Amino acid sequence: MRGDPKQATSATMAIVYITIGAMMVVWTGVYYVYLQRHNAQDGPLYWCAGLFLSGIVLIGIGLFVGRIGQSARAAEVVSSPPVQVVAPTAVAPQTPAPAMVDTTPGNTSSAPRPASASAPV
């Protein structure tokens, strides 16, 4: 593994197919002209036509691989939603509720009673 992403290999393969196909088309065209000028038999002309059409097919494959690679790139490179880092908030110290002082007449105890206790009836 070289560590190349998939999109780079699809672009490279598209260029290779197109280049090989174009070279086949050019050189079979040159060979066809040669064969026509020297009155070649049918066998070499069939080979020449087959290689010419194979070159055109390779160009087509290269173009389609390039288009597929572009579509795949858009699917592969989807940005993820931004991650929000929430810092922990400081916890406020828990203070007890203030004590209530009983101010009813006749109460001699000076101890405060808790706020949750109900008043006497």
pLDDT digits (tens, 9 = 90+) for 51-105: 999 999 999 999 998 888 777 776 666 666 667 777 777 776 777 777 666 677 7
Give the dihedral of Cα atoms 110, 114, 118, 121; nearest 10 deg: 0
For residue 72, what are its two tokens? 């795949």
pLDDT digits (tens, 9 = 90+) for 22-44: 999 999 999 999 999 999 899 99
Amino acid making up residue 105: P
Give the Å distances, CA to CA, from 22 to 16, 63, 64, 95, 99. 10, 12, 15, 83, 94
Q: For a pLDDT cut of 90, what percent of the chain falls above it? A: 37
